[in-house]
Structure 1
Amino acid sequence: MGVIKLKNIRTFSYHGCLVEESKIGSNYRVDLEIEADLSTSAVSDKLADTVDYVHLNRIVVEEMAIRSELLEHAAKRIVDRTLKELILVNRVEVEVSKLNPPIGGDVEEVTIILSKKR
């Protein structure tokens, strides 16, 4: 078993419950971690034998571009799509963080974490 991590994927998205958030948008950070059997690719040195992190990044960017009221909803789409499209993935964990959230306080970020096993 092996792990692939994509850290600090930055997006500008329009998630949130407030009407203003759908108009002005916010900065987000996404961290993605997958577990997969990487033993074949470690020997073969072939992209076809592993989980392509370009594909993982594309999933995150495309799903974060779809507006959601809740971060949980965006994270679930990322998790579900990863498991659907990448058969080698056995487990996925995603952290979605809204930077400088409009919650009336000095808060650097709000983060939700979802994970799922095949």
Structure 2
Amino acid sequence: MNTDKVALEGMEFYAYHGFYEEERKIGNRFTVDLEVTTNFDQAAKKDDLSGTVDYVQLYEIVKSSMATPAKLLEKLGQEIIDGVFERFASVSEVKVSVAKHNPPFGGICAKSKVTLERTRS
């Protein structure tokens, strides 16, 4: 089993996600980290992008998911995972973390974060 990884770390978005309606109106800053497991053998041997996962396309999957308001970070994470598995047949595992900066619950907290890890079934 290959453990080759492609990762995008610290992707930042201003988006309109949150359980409370006010959060979905005023928006907030979010950070997304994404890691996918694939097989780099062909890319490493042939220096050819078609033998790996194009991180520009990964970014577009995340950007698209972040553009559609959701109540829960868990839903966003699952949408990103579903998009990666749909677009890249070579990906065997996906790990994604979605963080909301300064969550609105009346205390000091830099960010709230969920992390989802899925293996292709």
Q: Normalising TM by the smaller chain, what interval?
A: over 0.9
Percent identity reads 36
**d(CA) in 1 for partners of 2:66, 2:105:** 21
Which residue is equivalent to 1:97?
A: 99
CA offset at residue 19 of structure 1?
A: 1.4
The aligned residue for residue 112 of structure 1 is 114
Match of 2:88 in 1: 86
Counting only pairs closer than 5 Å after superposition, residues 41-80 of structure 1 correspond to structure 2 as: 41-80=43-82
Distance 1:78 1:70 in 2: 13
**Code of the aligned partner of 1:69:** K
CA distance in 2: counterparts of 1:84 and 1:57, whole angstroms = 14
* RMSD (Å) for aligned C-alpha atoms: 0.7
Q: How far is the alpha carbon of 1:38 from its aligned partner?
A: 0.6
Q: Which runs of 4+ in 1 moved over 6 A?
A: none
Residue 18 of structure 1, CA deviation: 1.1
Match of 1:11 in 2: 13
Displacement after TM superposition at 1:104 (Å): 0.9
Distance in 1 of aligned mates of 2:99 and 2:35: 15
Structure 2 unaligned spans of 5+:
none
**TM-score, normalising length from structure 2?**
0.95
